[in-house]
């Protein structure tokens, strides 16, 4: 299992973790490290401690950051320099976490690639809902086929 850390500005990390848990339930080895006005000085050490803790347990870690180039992302990339087995993903979102936290059997690099793919898929300008003129009998096509419903 690859350990996972969510980190970001303000309430982003605990907020996204709580959002994940509402849908996906509790996840093992999934830690939120917030970066706030109150812990700017201690934040680098807190992030490194969380990474090292998960590395010791799982061997590999993916750090999901809110913003490319932001302080959390920068600190994660600095920590990564001396730590093989750590991968960093920016632009973290909920669809990404939902998929990734349930697909942690491969390597950290594979998980980070998956995160990028799913995270992009989750961003969409959705089509406006239109009421169909005549409500289709959506189930008619499936009835009486003799091969399932």
Partner 1 sequence: MAEPNIVFVRIDNRLIHGQVATQWNNTVGSNLILVANDEVAKNTMRQKLMNMAAPQGVATRYFSIQKTIDVIHKAAPRQHIFIVLETPQDALRLVEGGVPIKKLNIGNMHMSEGKRQVATTVAVDDDDVAAFRKLRELGVELQIQRVPSIPPEDPEKLFR
Backbone angles phi, psi at 141, to 5 degrees: -65, -20
Question: Toward partner 1, which CB reaches closer, 27 or 48?
Answer: 27
Q: Is 23 an interacting residue with respect to partner 1 (CB under 8 A)? A: yes
Using CB under 8 A, which of the segments 50-58, 62-70, 85-93, 136-144 binds partner 1?
136-144
Q: Rounded distance, CA 126 to CA 108, Å?
A: 31
SS3 annotation, 92-131: CCHHHHHHHCCCCCCCHHHHHHHHHHHHHHCCCCCCCCCC
Q: Is 41 an interacting residue with respect to partner 1 (CB under 8 A)? A: no
Residue from 24, 59, 70, 91 in contact with partner 1 (CB under 8 A): 24
Question: Toward partner 1, which CB reaches closer, 68 or 121?
Answer: 121
Beta carbon of residue 115, minimum distance to partner 1 (angstroms, whole number): 16
How buried is residue 138: exposed, middle or buried, by Cβ count under 10 Å (0-12/13-18/19+)? exposed
Q: Is 10 an interacting residue with respect to partner 1 (CB under 8 A)? A: no
Q: Is 1 an interacting residue with respect to partner 1 (CB under 8 A)? A: no
* Contact residues: partner 1, CB under 8 A: 22-26, 98, 102, 129, 131-132, 135-136, 138-139, 142-149
């Amino acid at each position: 299992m690859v350990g996972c850390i969510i980190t970001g500005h303000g309430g982003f990390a605990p907020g996204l973790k709580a959002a994940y848990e509402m849908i996906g339930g509790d996840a093992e080895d999934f830690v939120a490290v917030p970066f706030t006005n109150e812990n700017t000085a201690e934040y680098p050490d807190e992030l490194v401690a969380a990474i090292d803790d998960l590395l010791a347990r799982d061997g590999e870690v993916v750090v999901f950051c809110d913003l490319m180039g932001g302080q959390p992302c920068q600190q994660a990339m600095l920590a990564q320099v001396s730590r093989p087995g750590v991968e960093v993903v920016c632009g973290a979102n909920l669809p990404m976490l939902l998929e990734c936290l349930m697909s942690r059997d491969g390597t950290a690099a594979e998980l980070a690639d998956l995160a990028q793919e799913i995270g992009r898929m989750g961003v969409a300008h959705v089509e406006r809902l239109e009421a169909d003129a005549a409500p289709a009998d959506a189930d008619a096509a499936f009835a009486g086929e003799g091969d399932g419903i």
